[in-house]
Structure 1
Amino acid sequence: MLVSCHKEADYTIQIGETCSLCLFEDPSTDYVWEWENQDQSDVVMMYRDRIEAHLPPDTNGLTYLCTNFNFKGLRKGQALVKLAYAKEAPKELQRRLFFTIRVEK
């Protein structure tokens, strides 16, 4: 089952369910979304995929990438997710998102 997440909120999913969050990236800026504290969670696992998204013509046809973060419940518990929108080198943070995912049986 797929449950849609919204930014900066708390979510409850069941073991085996997936909560998906789509965040846009502008490839011309070198900024990307990353899960900063992924190694601190054994309650959920994350996989992501990127798709190209074209904005309407009245926005000069800009192309963005949509990164889908898919969080799957592994075991009962709670995970604090910290996502950062930053450049790799030199490290430059533009934005952070924080939310929790509670996994129930």
Structure 2
Amino acid sequence: MIAMIFQLTKNIPNILSSIRIIITIPFIFSLYDLILGTGSIISLLLFSIIIISDILDGYLARKLNFVSAFGANLDIFVRYFLFIFIYNYFMLFECCSNLVFIHCYF
């Protein structure tokens, strides 16, 4: 029983990253609702959850010493997944220039 709880605790950072992937999909659709003016609160809420889970994921992985190669790669994948879709959204609807994303990302 204790070993099972420890194993579940060890996977919490990876679970948070997986949840971020799931939340990113509705976030992307809520961005398209911004055109209609109906998705701004939902977009803000989902983006806040994504950012908080990203911060919490990294903090827990380092604090509890549950850093793994899989977790690090999953975190990077989720982050790129999110930013690629946000970038494509803004470029598709010409909401901002390429220079803003280049400056913010690097």
TM-score (norm 2): 0.21
TM-score, length basis structure 1: 0.21
> Bigger relative contact order, structure 1 or 2, given CA contacts below 8 A and separation 6+?
1
Would you tell me which structure has more helix in proportion to its own residues?
2
